[in-house]
Structure 1
Amino acid sequence: MSGSSRNKVVIVGGVAVGAGVAAKVRRMDESAEIVLFERGTHVSFANCGLPYYVGGVITERDALLLHTPGSLKRRFDVNVHTHHEVTEINRERKCVRVVNLIDGTRFEESYDKLVLAVGAKPIVPNLPGITLPGIFELRTVPDADAMKDWIAAQNVRRAVIVGAGFIGLEIVENLTHLGIEVVLIEKADQVLPPFDREMTASLLDELKKRGVETILSDGIVSFQGAKRATEVLLESGRAVQGDMFLLGIGVQPDFTLAKNAGLELGVSGAVSVNQELQTSDPNIFAAGDVAEMTHLVDQLAHFIPLAGLANKQARVIGQNICGAHETFGGALGTAIVKFGNVTLAMTGLSEKMASAENLKYQVSYSTSGHHAGYYPGAKNMTIKLLLDSSSHLVIGAQIAGEEGVDKRIDVIATSISGKLTVEEMAMLDLAYAPPFSSAKDPVIMAAMAAEHVMDGEVRTVQTLQEVADLGAILIDVREPSEVAEGILPGAIHIPLDELRARITEIDRSRPHVVYCRSGQRSYFAYQILRGLGVREVYNLTGGWIVQEMRKKTA
């Protein structure tokens, strides 16, 4: 397998980037020679569907296989070699060294352009017992096959998932779908660590509702067992038993090949690329989980391993190999995850990211139904917006809800990409009919609430500690039926519709903080008090709902 041609493209790795680049190059250049090496069994598969295949939601294994070596050859004339690993890049001679993992033979392959599509690798801690049978990771179709076989052969009744990130939660959902008891372990102090902690409250409720035991702030120390893993020991000293164990701790870029070739790595540990997705060697491209990306908000380099981004980058590389100068500007890290009836989504910066970068920002919360309240089946969603204090640009959002979350996070992601201010986002013309939305869509409601904060019309506080620091009187303006479910510590209850009549009960010399269920009625109360001469008034942003979210995740 040696030789050269006018435009010979060698691709290292398949799946989204590798197969995508091959297809795009062929569509643009019928004469190109395209060679793809994949060290695994399958060259193009839907890795995001693997948890659902394990759980039986996806019943047909072949549905995961998007292309085979044969289909890529027939349709795109790509020479695919599975079970072949590229072990070395010789940049001076423009060739790679390859080993056939079946028979051990080694050879060189020349290239004009080289594409690194090796992706990421699971983080597997070097712990005692980590190699025992019954411990799994989930990245490939054979990984999923092994899990399904183990579940059947061992009659698995109890599974332990280590890591409460996106993959971990998807596996938890699918194992519970099979009727398996699940324990979820996370070293961080929250599930879904990329999210701001309070936004995960509904997920904690749903995990508990579905019988999942969640252990937070506790890392793993070792696995125990004779012929197979039977328990995992935690830093707290606790031992957790199980019939199978899955590591969903996270992934890291598989940078070894690039590093050994002297290619520049970025601050995130992934391969550094320019906007045309070239590495420090202009004849070598990299994309997907192995490559670093620029975040569109902070313009800093990040490691953002998301499938949608990999597919877009594959298109850009394919075009540029064929002579174009297309660019990949960056990413927002837009992501979504479902567990049971709860969906969480995010885009842009989280508050913890903005705080760590010392950015000046404002936060706003709103809660509203995913469609008109009078139309049957409306489900609430809570939207958290992050806004740049000076420019009023929307710089991040997170949503927790049951229905319609995907649509709203995509609208906000589009707004951030288009550099819309919160005032501009509030004026978006979005589709409305009672089965689909409200006359004021949840995104519009969120933007309007944030607009009041940004223009100074409403002063807000976020936490009860801020209320205490102000020495403020806390007023609950909800209805009596709502107060029956609880009231915030130290609050006095004056329903909104009684506020004007009971204004004499207000000590105008003291600061006051008003709250309702979600923040809308307390905004009305805020304006009433201000209009009646109470000078120092604040709205508790997000109201009772957000305070309960904070309490559950404290």
Structure 2
Amino acid sequence: MKIIIIGSVAAGTSVAAKARRNNEKAEITLYNADYDISYSICGIPYFLGGEVEELETLTPRSAAWFKKRYNVDIFTRHEVTKIDAEQKRVIVKNLDTNEVKEDIYDILVFATGATPITPTISGVDEEHVFQVRTIQNTAAIDQFIKRSEPKKAIIIGAGYIGLELAEQLTNRGLDVTIVQRSNHVMPHLDKDMAFRVEEHLVKKGVALLLNEEVTAINKEEVQTKSGKAIASDIVILATGVRPNTRLAKEVGIKLGHTGAIAVNHKMQTNLPDIYAVGDVAESYSVITGKAIYRPLGSTANKMGRIAGDVITDGSLEHRGILGTGIVRVFDLAVGQTGLNEKEAIEEGYDIEVLHNVKPSRAEYLGGKDIVIKAIADKESGKLLGVQIVGEDGVDKRIDVFATAITFKAKVQDLFHLDLAYAPPFSTTKDPVMYTGMALQNAIEKKNKLITPKELEERLLKGEAIQVIDTRASKQYNVSKVEGAINIPLGDIRTKAKELNPELPTVTYCNGGVTGNAVQNILRNLGFSDIYNLSGGNKNYQSYLKSKQ
């Protein structure tokens, strides 16, 4: 069997390695138009910032290494220019010598990855403007910084790479400005959670321009749609990627609605004996079953392994993804998995939303608050998605939530997880467990929740709602929900008779726990329509600031 793989970064090399493990006799050839193979795109920002000292660290595998270990032939700087699917032939051009040859295959795999989106901006081809995708890009940026010693950097785009580069270039001593077209950073986050990241960026000295577009670039500055002129010595395009499907379209391979190659659970395309994996191919959602496109190295590796197994008569199938991701923004970690609030609503779910503000570990050992936003389906009780922002313990919580969603856990199941506990690592009631408890109580209407947005909307409509601030008066006097009355927890039983049990009532504290305790007391005293403010006053004040 002759297997030809087009592309040899994460997905392509994964196909080859798995196929070889299953079948020692197969002839496996990879053609790659780039100079480098199997490199870490995700590690590029950290080299540019100096955390990774040697660029070669990001390219740990060579063609010679693959040949020796797997008996796989990898040809770099060789571009497949044409495919004859009926005759199972490919035309390959050596980009260094311009020589052209023909090769035949039994199985063909597209692992052509994604290409950076280049915005149509005047001056985008200036020598101080760079894409961030390949090792060659990275070396060029590093050499430019060493040679020209730029002081001011403009980053266009605020996704993962844009935020990582903002951190790293700031650490390298540059003044950094991010220009983002939409109204918040990190498109997969909801705006109320993205705002926390934006605050942190500004705190760390990064200038942030939202709802703004760059219209022109010259050697000294960039110009924006609103008329701003921003001084810059280097411009980084972090405007996303699109699947590299040109060759696939030419041969008649079907694309999905995301614009990437449509594949089934075995990574097969619509053409016989042709597969697609990695950033060129669609995946699908574990939750909805619908096609989604999330170009991540972890997903590319997984898809490659599945294809390599299927090609060599294995039984693996792609079970879908959640689009789980995490990024470090200075000393803040930002994780997300599953559907965000907007996506869940668009999918037609009747959702319950919780903002859970809890310390990541014992406060007496330095535990700091993490903010968890969790979305659940009221009808089934299943967890749909989670977003977390915090300085510590975000990674392990997002992985627990991703596991729970993958195995279709209901929110009530989270409380019963036997999670590791010791004061340096967690609290006795872990934030994951508390998330499940609060969502279960809200769905079962034992302890109903109300989000800051919902509360504000009801108050603006003129609805008569009594809002109770359950904190000490000192905290109440610093910041509060407008119109709230201050009744601390210790006084609520004696002062409850001064309240109207027939009116809708909202309780809140700083983060949610004391507000929940007062909610329980009032419910037991006969208050029938009572809510706890999701995330407490901390979340409410953050929501107000995010609207400014």
Deviation at 1:364, TM superposition (A): 1.3
The equivalent residue for 1:435 is: 424
The equivalent residue for 2:258 is: 268
Amino acid of the residue matched to residue 513 of structure 1? V
Is residue 39 of structure 2 the alignment partner of residue 48 of structure 1? no
The equivalent residue for 2:323 is: 333
The equivalent residue for 2:456 is: 465
Amino acid of the residue matched to residue 219 of structure 1? E
Is residue 94 of structure 2 the alignment partner of residue 105 of structure 1? no
In 1: Cα distance, 2:247 partner to 2:350 partner:
40
The equivalent residue for 1:247 is: 237
The answer to whether the Cα contact below 8 Å between 1:361 and 1:389 also exists between their aligned partners in 2 is yes
Is residue 380 of structure 2 the alignment partner of residue 386 of structure 1? no
In 1: Cα distance, 2:501 partner to 2:402 partner:
43
The equivalent residue for 1:452 is: 441
Instruction: Please list, as runs of the form range in 1=range in 2, the aligned pairs for 1:352-501 lying within 5 A after superposition.
Output: 352-374=342-364, 376-462=365-451, 463=453, 464-468=455-459, 469=461, 470-501=463-494
In 1: Cα distance, 2:442 partner to 2:448 partner:
6
Compare 523-532 and 212-221 and name the one that shifted more: 523-532
The answer to whether the Cα contact below 8 Å between 1:230 and 1:242 also exists between their aligned partners in 2 is yes
What percent identity do the matched residue pairs reach?
38
The equivalent residue for 2:269 is: 279
Any gaps of 5 or more consecutive residues in structure 1? 1-6
The equivalent residue for 1:236 is: 226
Amino acid of the residue matched to residue 298 of structure 1? T
TM value normalised by structure 2: 0.97
The answer to whether the Cα contact below 8 Å between 1:515 and 1:539 also exists between their aligned partners in 2 is yes
The answer to whether the Cα contact below 8 Å between 2:12 and 2:277 also exists between their aligned partners in 1 is no
Compare 201-210 and 16-25 and name the one that shifted more: 201-210
Deviation at 1:267, TM superposition (A): 0.7
The answer to whether the Cα contact below 8 Å between 1:461 and 1:467 also exists between their aligned partners in 2 is no
The equivalent residue for 1:3 is: none
Amino acid of the residue matched to residue 406 of structure 1? D
The answer to whether the Cα contact below 8 Å between 1:365 and 1:450 also exists between their aligned partners in 2 is no
The answer to whether the Cα contact below 8 Å between 1:289 and 1:310 also exists between their aligned partners in 2 is yes
Deviation at 1:164, TM superposition (A): 0.6
Amino acid of the residue matched to residue 245 of structure 1? V
Amino acid of the residue matched to residue 432 of structure 1? Y
The equivalent residue for 2:117 is: 123
Is residue 136 of structure 2 the alignment partner of residue 146 of structure 1? no
Is residue 529 of structure 2 the alignment partner of residue 540 of structure 1? no
Deviation at 1:32, TM superposition (A): 1.2
Any gaps of 5 or more consecutive residues in structure 2? none
Partner deviation per Cα, 1:27-80 (whole Å, 9 max, x = no partner): 221111111111111011111101001111000222111211111111111111
Partner deviation per Cα, 1:120-171 (whole Å, 9 max, x = no partner): 1111112221111111111111111111111111111110000011010001
In 2: Cα distance, 1:280 partner to 1:426 partner:
44
In 2: Cα distance, 1:486 partner to 1:545 partner:
9
In 2: Cα distance, 1:509 partner to 1:322 partner:
68
Compare 531-540 and 207-216 and name the one that shifted more: 531-540
Partner deviation per Cα, 1:172-192 (whole Å, 9 max, x = no partner): 111011011100110000011
Deviation at 1:291, TM superposition (A): 0.4
Compare 420-429 and 459-468 and name the one that shifted more: 459-468
TM value normalised by structure 1: 0.96
SS in structure 2 of the partner of residue 24 of structure 1? helix
In 2: Cα distance, 1:538 partner to 1:466 partner:
15
The answer to whether the Cα contact below 8 Å between 1:467 and 1:513 also exists between their aligned partners in 2 is no
The equivalent residue for 2:11 is: 17
Is residue 202 of structure 2 the alignment partner of residue 211 of structure 1? no
Amino acid of the residue matched to residue 319 of structure 1? D
Match of 2:507 among 514, 530, 544: 514
The answer to whether the Cα contact below 8 Å between 2:438 and 2:447 also exists between their aligned partners in 1 is no
In 1: Cα distance, 2:502 partner to 2:220 partner:
65
In 2: Cα distance, 1:213 partner to 1:430 partner:
40
Deviation at 1:245, TM superposition (A): 0.3
The answer to whether the Cα contact below 8 Å between 1:510 and 1:536 also exists between their aligned partners in 2 is yes
The equivalent residue for 1:4 is: none
Amino acid of the residue matched to residue 420 of structure 2? A
Amino acid of the residue matched to residue 223 of structure 1? I
Partner deviation per Cα, 1:298-323 (whole Å, 9 max, x = no partner): 11111111111111111111111111
Q: For the aligned residues, what is the CA RMSD?
A: 1.3
Match of 1:550 among 518, 536, 543: 543
Partner deviation per Cα, 1:238-276 (whole Å, 9 max, x = no partner): 121200000111111111111111001001100000000
In 2: Cα distance, 1:535 partner to 1:305 partner:
48
In 2: Cα distance, 1:291 partner to 1:23 partner:
19
Amino acid of the residue matched to residue 473 of structure 1? Q
Deviation at 1:232, TM superposition (A): 1.7
The answer to whether the Cα contact below 8 Å between 1:190 and 1:553 also exists between their aligned partners in 2 is no
Is residue 300 of structure 2 the alignment partner of residue 310 of structure 1? yes
Match of 2:55 among 54, 61, 85: 61
Amino acid of the residue matched to residue 455 of structure 1? E
In 2: Cα distance, 1:289 partner to 1:371 partner:
37
SS in structure 1 of the partner of residue 216 of structure 2? strand
Is residue 23 of structure 2 the alignment partner of residue 29 of structure 1? yes
Deviation at 1:282, TM superposition (A): 3.0
Partner deviation per Cα, 1:449-506 (whole Å, 9 max, x = no partner): 1111111102222123244143202111112332243112121111111111222331
Amino acid of the residue matched to residue 10 of structure 2? A
In 2: Cα distance, 1:252 partner to 1:277 partner:
19
Amino acid of the residue matched to residue 487 of structure 1? K
Compare 349-358 and 140-149 and name the one that shifted more: 349-358
SS in structure 1 of the partner of residue 379 of structure 2? coil
Deviation at 1:509, TM superposition (A): 4.1
The answer to whether the Cα contact below 8 Å between 1:349 and 1:397 also exists between their aligned partners in 2 is yes
Amino acid of the residue matched to residue 228 of structure 2? R
SS in structure 2 of the partner of residue 44 of structure 1? coil
In 2: Cα distance, 1:66 partner to 1:406 partner:
25
The answer to whether the Cα contact below 8 Å between 2:414 and 2:435 also exists between their aligned partners in 1 is no
Deviation at 1:94, TM superposition (A): 0.5
In 1: Cα distance, 2:85 partner to 2:263 partner:
16
Amino acid of the residue matched to residue 450 of structure 1? L
In 1: Cα distance, 2:512 partner to 2:478 partner:
17
Is residue 161 of structure 2 the alignment partner of residue 172 of structure 1? no
Amino acid of the residue matched to residue 540 of structure 2? Q
The answer to whether the Cα contact below 8 Å between 1:202 and 1:342 also exists between their aligned partners in 2 is no
The answer to whether the Cα contact below 8 Å between 2:344 and 2:384 also exists between their aligned partners in 1 is no
Deviation at 1:523, TM superposition (A): 1.1
Deviation at 1:532, TM superposition (A): 2.1
In 1: Cα distance, 2:148 partner to 2:431 partner:
47
SS in structure 2 of the partner of residue 412 of structure 1? helix
SS in structure 2 of the partner of residue 67 of structure 1? coil
Amino acid of the residue matched to residue 480 of structure 2? I
